Amino acid sequence: MRQYMGSDKRTLEKIVCNQCGQELKLENGIVQEGVFSGDARWGYFSGWDGERHSFDLCEKCYRRLIGSFRLPVTVEEETELL
């Protein structure tokens, strides 16, 4: 869950893990630790027709989530780190 500040609401003020409620570290609006940001736009044939869902998970909760998968996530090496 993200909160923005400023008149234009573009500066990131706070990120909270939707799963555990932990606030993630921010410095000058830039997150300083691992975060997973989910964003789903649901359309026809779904149970949430026309809705957009978004959420954030801290690294610990992301690890727990992918640990519950029947198939592992696809892992590739990144040459440019964020």
Residue (12 or 22) nearer to Zn ion, CB: 22
Name the residue among 12, 11, 38, 39 with its Cα closest to residue 25: 12
Q: By CB under 5 A, is residue 19 in contact with Zn ion?
A: yes
Nearest to 17 by CA among 67, 71, 55, 68: 55
- The answer to whether residue 61 forms part of the interface with Zn ion (CB under 5 A) is yes
DSSP conformational letter for 71 = S
What's the min distance (Å) between Cβ of 8 and Zn ion? 28
Number of residues that bind Zn ion (CB under 5 A): 6
Binding site for Zn ion (CB under 5 A): 17, 19-20, 22, 58, 61
